[in-house]
Amino acid sequence: MKSLAREGESEEGATARGAASASASASAASAAPGTGPGLVVMDKTLRPATDSTRIPSTPNPIALHDRSITPRHQPPRPAPTVHLDHTESTAGRNPPDSTERRTAVPDTDETGERADKRSGPGGGILMGRPFGVPVYVSPSWFLVAALITWVFGDQLDRVLPDLGPARYLVSLFFAVAFYASVLVHELAHTVAALRFGLPVRRIQLQFFGGVSEIEKESETPGREFVLAFVGPLLSLLLAGAFYLGMELVDPATVPGVLLAGLMISNLLVAAFNLLPGLPLDGGRMLRAVIWAITGKPMAGTVAAAWVGRALAVTVLIGLPMITHTGILGTDGGAVESTGMNTVMDALLAAILAAIIWTGAGNSLRMARLREHLPELRARTLTRRAVPVENATPLSEALRRANAHGARAIVVVDGHGDPLSIVRETAIASVPEHRRPWVAVSTLAQELTDGMRVSAELSGEELLDHLRATPATEYLVLEPGGEIYGVLSTLDVEKAFVKAMARPQP
């Protein structure tokens, strides 16, 4: 759960994400504590969390576990099967809320990938930290570099036949130089984001381009436009620089061919990214313009996303037709090699169309999530908790929790100050007949500062806190320091899912 940002739109987001996340991330009220009388423990009254709508079919984990308090005169029953969802939530780690700006052909700027599904820093090779932002090269880059080396090497054989096998060494240099241009494009987005105070998690060079993981959305349409435009602008400037370099060398030499190739490739990158549809930079610019006119970021996202889907269909159908007819400078009459070329063109078009279509859809989804972010409030998602001392048997703690309608157990010291939280998964691992002999302290996770959450946190601020200190449960406190309850990342994730399942108005 920038979103899982961010949408994000914990869209576009992100979430770290996503949404930080996320995405989110990015992913609406979950099972929250019910109302009831104050819990008087050690002369301290703990105010229970307020009532809120329960998520359908969400069981009370504590009640399901509390089988050991059956009166002793009843005949013993076999231990029941405890049906609990122990899937570890990712909402507290990386919400789908980060804004990803992908650059290549195309420069995708989508925020739909959940942060936990993107490869982490360990999934690539760290190349450096320009401006303090780590740059990683994904293993998929080597596949594309090999493809570029093969294709460009064959072209060199026709232009400079005297090179022989050395042409593949020259084409490998071209592949590296091209991705260096992509890195410059990404650094333009990164510098602009840092200038606007938007944190950038990392840059990653990968299959078909690069990704700048910007964790938050721009606050104004003007900043959004600038943030999107600087990437294509740098690509155009690079193309101009390579053109000037061509004037200084013989075009029939290796430097002349390399400079020409880099000029054309940067022009194509800039032109493609300026197409007005999400997730391309041009789509971000269109979104910013509509946002500025209507005052509604969601209206801009919807319009730019549907234009992006239209572009995806156009690329899927039009790119093979254009290359086959030779409009881009290829020899359309050389039909001898049409079989392989047609397959390669169709495959390239399908990959690009899939990237654009998926990015546009993710942009819509994460934009909708960002609209629902204010509904994610720690106060309404918190489970009521019952405080017990270290030596309290688990069976007794469950009995007290059941009596008060609580769904969590907090271990406190002799003064009533919280020490740790009894983990839900640990409760499920203790057989029923062992619960009277197991102290709650042996099942508890010690509280750290990051595991203490204010009941006033909500929306992106809440997701940022959960992402900064990953855990499965958090102690929720009132502004005065009183225990309010326990927040489970599972409940946050369910709230994401419920928010995303709502029909778009």
* 3-state DSSP percent of the chain in helix, strand and coil, to 5: 50, 15, 35
CB 285 within 8 Å of CB 225 = yes
Over residues 79-106, the pLDDT tens digits come to 333 333 333 333 333 333 344 444 444 4
H-only helix segments in 373-474: 378-381, 394-404, 424-428, 459-468
Over residues 18-28, the pLDDT tens digits come to 333 333 333 33
Which pLDDT value is given to residue 70?
Answer: 30
Which pLDDT value is given to residue 413?
Answer: 92
Low-confidence ranges of the chain (pLDDT < 50): 1-122, 330-337, 505
**Residue in this structure with the two tokens 């996202």, named with its chain if needed:** 301
Distance (Å, whole) CA 172 – CA 239: 19
For 467, the token pair is 């992402």
Contacts of 249 (CB under 8 A, 6+ apart): 255, 256, 259
Which pLDDT value is given to residue 244?
Answer: 95
